[in-house]
Amino acid sequence: MTLIPSHKGSGFHINFANHYELSIQYGRRNYCDNENKLDLEPTETMEVALFSPCGDFTLLRDDVAGYVPVANLAGLIRAVELEDWTGFVTLCGEQTLCPDESPEVQGGWA
C-alpha cells in the first residue's frame, strides 16, 4: 500500500497491491464539511472515489461519494484490500453497487 499526496494539497490517494486506487479529498471544492472554507480546517466528512486497475472511476454512481464520515476511512481501506465492494459502497453511504461498474459486469478487473 502506498500513500500519495493529492496534487491539490487537500487529500491523498492510496494505491493498493490489488491495483485499485482510493482517493480521499477534503477542503475547498470537495464534497465535505469544509468545502467552502478558504483554508484547510478539520473536517468530519470527506469525498471518496475509487479507481479500477484500469484507472477509471468505479463502483460509485456519481464517480465520487460526498460527505462520507471520516470515521469510515479504516473500513474503506479494509474493503478495498479485501475487494469487498458491497461493504465499500455501504461505507460511502450508497445502497447498491453501480450496475454498470460492478466487477461482475466488467468481467472482473484483475
User: Residue 105: which pLDDT band, with cuts at 50, 70 and 90?
Assistant: very low
**To the nearest 10°, the Cα dihedral for 75, 76, 77, 80?**
120
pLDDT for 21 beyond 60: yes
Per-residue pLDDT, averaged over 44-72, amounts to 94
Write down the pLDDT at residue 37.
78
Strand 2-5 relative to strand 11-15, pairing: antiparallel
Chain centre to alpha carbon of residue 75: 11
Write down the pLDDT at residue 49.
96
- 14 forms bridges with which residues in the sheet? 3, 22
Q: What is the DSSP string of 42-92?
A: --SEEEEEEE-TTS-B-SSTTSEEEEEEGGGHHHHHHHHHHT-HHHHHHHT
Q: DSSP state, 25?
A: E
Question: Which has the higher per-residue pLDDT, 33 or 102?
Answer: 33
Q: What pTM was computed for the model?
A: 0.83
Domain locations along the chain: 2-101
Q: Round the average pLDDT of the chain to a whole number and report it.
A: 84
Per-residue pLDDT, averaged over 66-74, amounts to 96
| Highest mean predicted confidence (pLDDT) among 4-18, 26-40, 50-64 | 50-64
